[in-house]
Each structure stands twice: as structure tokens, then as C-alpha cells.
A and B are shown apart, each in its own frame.
Chain A
Amino acid sequence: DIVMTQSPDSLAVSLGERATINCKSSQSVLYNSNNKNYLAWYQQKPGQPPKLLIYWASTRQSGVPDRFIGSGSGTDFTLTISSLQAEDVALYYCLQYYGTSPRTFGQGTKVEIK
């Protein structure tokens, strides 16, 4: 199975500042045939199911604010919250959905206000 490793496990950022979460996969999740990275990012708030933020590593889901930016390719990916808002306090997970391999999540990153 593809192992997804996120860093850091938690971070505290001041309101309006940038938050950066990294996600590394144990093997490439880039399909050469379509040049797409099979990597998504989710946000989960307490008592709620995960919410899809980003798919194909960098495409925002409809309705997601443009302060959420996904980047990266191959095995290394980043979710950036360009200007942290109070409502962004949550857990964030990356997910790989590459081919027929079992889908696997990163362990999660907790984002808090400093």
C-alpha cells in the first residue's frame, strides 16, 4: 500500500498568516498517461465528516475559498492556506487515490490559531 506521511502533525499560525502542510507519498501518484496527480486534501472540523477541498493535487472543489492552494507532483505535495481565517481551524488530511491501489490517508495535521 502507498503510505502517506504528513508534516507537521500540528501547527499554530496567526490570523491572516500563511499555513503550510506537507504530504509525502511512498511512491509516485502521478499518472503519466494523463499527467494527473491522484492526490486530494480534506478538511475535518470536530463532529463533522471530512470535506473535500482539493483534488488532482491542485484543483479546488466548487465553493472552496481561493486561499486554499494545493501544489506538488509525484511524491511531494503541499496544502497552503494563504491567509488563515478563524474558520480554518481544523484537521487536514491528504489522500492518495492512485489507480487500483487501496486509498490511503495521511495521519492528519491539526491547524490552530496562534
Chain B
Amino acid sequence: EVQLVESGGGLVQPGGSLRLSCVGSGFTFSRFEMTWVRQAPGKGLECISFISSGGASKYYADSVKGRFTVSRDNAKNSLYLQLNGLRVEDTAIYYCAREAALGAMDYWGQGILVTVSS
């Protein structure tokens, strides 16, 4: 069974940092591209970062470029998102999702809440 489990969220002050992790199981993690999607409270879905299967290609939405960094460790079946310079508007549930060969995200984690507040 494919599973994705996020961790590392919590409450942080504006300007602070967090590191989110996502551990995959039930599939060959190293073969799949991965995406981070976030959802602000009561709002829609936003793709904020993408990383290729080997980690060489990365993408960031303009809203997080220069502040967030995506990485992965295929030996540990793990995906990471380093969040620096956090802003109140970064408050959201952050999901990691697997990109299927068909290109759309087919499996999602349950999400982890990041709250940025003073």
C-alpha cells in the first residue's frame, strides 16, 4: 500500500524556519517525481514545489521562491521542504504528493499544518 507521511509542522513566528519531511512507503520512492502542495485555511490548492526523481530538477512557485528549498534522500525514501523566512500568509496545510507516470499527483499524504503567527 502506497503511503506518504508528513512531519515537522507546527507553530512558528514570522521570519522563522521549519523543515518538513515526507516519508514514502509501499513503492519505489526513487522512481517518482514528488510535489509539495499547500492549502491555506478555507482556500484552494497551490503547487509550491516539485522535484524530479533524482533530485536534479526543481521548481518553486513565485510565492515561495528564494525562501523554500526542496530536497530528497532516496536512500531514506524521504522528501524534504525547508521553509525559511516564513510569513503569516504561509500558514497552511502542506501536502506531499507523488507524481505518477501519467503526470498528475496520484497519492497524497494526510498533510501537516504550518502556522505562522506571533
Give chain A's interface residues, CB within 8 Å of chain B: 38, 40, 42, 44, 48-52, 55-56, 59, 61, 93, 95, 97, 102-108
Contact = CB atoms under 8 A, between A and B. Distances in A.
A55 B95 contact: no
B71 to A, nearest CB: 19
Contact of B44 (A56, A97, A102, A108): A108
B111 A97 contact: no
B50 interface: yes
B43 to A, nearest CB: 9
Given A55-B103, A97-B103, A103-B35, A49 B46 contact: no
A55 B45 contact: no
A44 B46 CA distance: 14
B104 A105 contact: no
Contact of B110 (A42, A49, A55, A61): A49
Nearest first, the 6 closest Cβ-Cβ pairs linking A and B are A49-B108, A40-B104, A103-B47, A105-B45, A97-B103, A55-B104
Contacts, number: 51
Interface in B14-70: 35, 37, 44-47, 50, 59, 61
Contacts of B61: 102
Contacts of A48: 110
B102 interface: yes
Contact of A49 (B35, B50, B100, B111): B111
Helix, strand, loop or mixed for chain B's interface? strand
Nearest to A98: B103
B1 interface: no
B109 interface: yes
Given A102-B47, A103-B35, A52 B104 contact: yes
Contact of B102 (A56, A93, A106): A56
Contacts of B50: 103
A69 B104 CA distance: 17
B47 A105 contact: yes
B107 to A, nearest CB: 8
